[in-house]
Structure 1
Amino acid sequence: MTRASSVAIAAVAVAGLTVGLLPAAANASASTSASAPPRAGASQRSVSPIHQVVLQGAVNVRDLGGYRTYDGAQVRYGLAYRADALNKATDPDLSTLARLGLREVVDFRVPLELQYDGPDRLPAGAAPTSRPVTDSGLYAQMLSAIGSKDPATQDVMLGHGRAEALMRTEYQAFVSDPAARVQFGATLKDLATSRGPVLFHCTSGKDRTGWESYVLLRAVGVPAATAEQDYLASNGFRAAADAGVRAGLKQAGIMQNPDLLIPLQEVRSDYLNAALAQLSSQYGDLYGYLTRGLGLTLKDLTALRTHLVP
């Protein structure tokens, strides 16, 4: 197999991490369908309410409304949505998304992800906004590891805690990288001023999207524990599709030990804590991060709260 072919296979496999879709040879062993609603895991049962937007081409699309704030108010439904990539949205999905009345769709994916996965498919009226946020080379690392098809190489690159370390590095960069802060801050400002619903997403809808969702909920007064539960809920929504990807990679002979991918497929409190530790080190507290880090003014924060919380 040529290097180009290996990279192509890896790219399709990594793209499959988003919705559980694989090449035909690998997909034959997958036991789940991307169109089937994900079964709620323990983390989802402990969070109420979570409103999923059920699509065929994405599995982690949710309304961020419904959460209670410290003062007993409730985040409005229908204004802020989080998602995984929409490049595989089907025609019925476009109809579903159109009913949300989206005004803007913010895409946090970097150019390499767009190169292999393709742009979003969006309904009319939803303006696409590209705001790439660093993944600290994680996507390229996964392409390289999977594309090698070599168990020893994959173990060296992802095993023995290395995958977890990659994830912690990525989360620290969400806070430390100046360009990432600009993109996250601009999206929060859009949410504060938009005349309609805004959706933001990355590839799997769990890391860059998970961090922005956590920060947004905290910024409008949702307690930290509740915001963390929303973050962790991605594991339940993604579990079946991600397990199907691992099974398919093994069946296709691409990975002997696809469980090496589990730390990359999951969200974990440890990863979130890496970002929060970086936040504390650089800015002291959440307010410092929102203002000095993301560039939000007190007026911006007031507008965000007023817009999202009645």
Structure 2
Amino acid sequence: MPQHPMSASVTEMPLNRTQFDLQPLFEQVQNIRDLGGKITSDGRRIQTGRLLRSANPGLATAADITRLQRFNIDVVIDFRTEGEKKLLETPFAEVFNWVADPIMVGNLSQRSDLLALKNGTAQDSRAFMIALYRDFPLQYQAQYRRFLQLAEKNRNILYHCTAGKDRTGFASLLLLSALGIDHADIIADYLESNRTNTAGNAQLLEQVNKLGLSAEVMVPLLSVEAAYLDAAQQVINDDHGGMQHYLEIVLGIDAALIRENYLESV
């Protein structure tokens, strides 16, 4: 099995609770963090600098790209649709092996109608998000299977969507579960998006306020709640006999191989 030395930039990272927070190191890459450092249920640790999650890295500055190159990323997985992308992202695509594998429910596409949002409630928004998450394990198995197959191949991976919280959050649930991280720690990592997206969400709320949309309705769409990810987990439990069965039988993933690839002794 090939060895992947810890990136030099990892040594600069402050340890933030259950994960390394990379965001202070970047100028334009939001909600970025390293899954490394987490301790598994059997007492091993995820290697640092190997598995990164983020919001859209496509608008990275030259300095951001240089820093990301230090991680020796093998592949960048992009869960966004074509409509979410911008022309300014071309330089990033020229530097990294950037692979599009879109998940169509992202970017709140089903709630884009302004009239529906203006007439909606916070409860409506939360119900939409719960339904969104319940779709992830049912409708997008092919995309998430391909993502986890890269982990089986021992790749250094950066994976993302637009805000790095929903499609990316579910991908992290699957990957961290395969690696043997306790569910409570997975939820803790998931909820970090509320902190790391604070500035961006404030800007978005300011913009939508000008369109007559209330913060009360928008906040459940822009933030994450444990109930969202738990809704996806419940579908996996109820429809597929639990996470292990879902990973190994439904998706056909060798979780033991993924653990061999990315875990180390403490």
TM-score normalised per structure 2: 0.86
In the TM superposition, residue 125 of structure 1 has moved relative to its aligned partner by 5.3
Aligned to 1:283: 240
CA spacing shift, 1:160–1:187, aligned 2, 3 Å: closer
Two-structure CA RMSD over aligned residues (Å): 2.3
CA spacing shift, 1:121–1:278, aligned 2, 3 Å: farther
1:195-240 Cα offsets, whole Å, 9 max, x none, are: x411111110001101111221111111111111001111111112
CA spacing shift, 1:86–1:141, aligned 2, 3 Å: same
CA spacing shift, 1:79–1:165, aligned 2, 3 Å: same
Aligned to 2:10: none
- Is the 2:117–2:213 Cα contact (8 Å) retained in structure 1? no
The match for 1:213 among 164, 172, 178 is 172
In the TM superposition, residue 265 of structure 1 has moved relative to its aligned partner by 0.7
Aligned to 1:103: 74
**2: distance between equivalents of 1:199 and 1:304?**
16
| Pair 1:307 & 2:261 matched | yes
- Is the 1:94–1:121 Cα contact (8 Å) retained in structure 2? no
- Is the 1:65–1:78 Cα contact (8 Å) retained in structure 2? yes
The match for 2:146 among 186, 190, 199 is 186
Aligned to 1:132: 102
CA spacing shift, 1:137–1:246, aligned 2, 3 Å: closer
Aligned to 1:167: 129
1:142-165 Cα offsets, whole Å, 9 max, x none, are: 3x22xx6xxxx5332x42511111
Structure number with bigger Rg = 1
TM-score normalised per structure 1: 0.74
Give aligned pairs, total: 250
Aligned to 1:22: none
CA spacing shift, 1:276–1:120, aligned 2, 3 Å: farther
**2: distance between equivalents of 1:107 and 1:120?**
14
Identity, in percent, stands at: 26
In the TM superposition, residue 283 of structure 1 has moved relative to its aligned partner by 0.5
Aligned to 2:52: 81
Letter in 2 for 1:83: S
| Pair 1:203 & 2:153 matched | no
- Unaligned 5+ runs, structure 2: 1-13
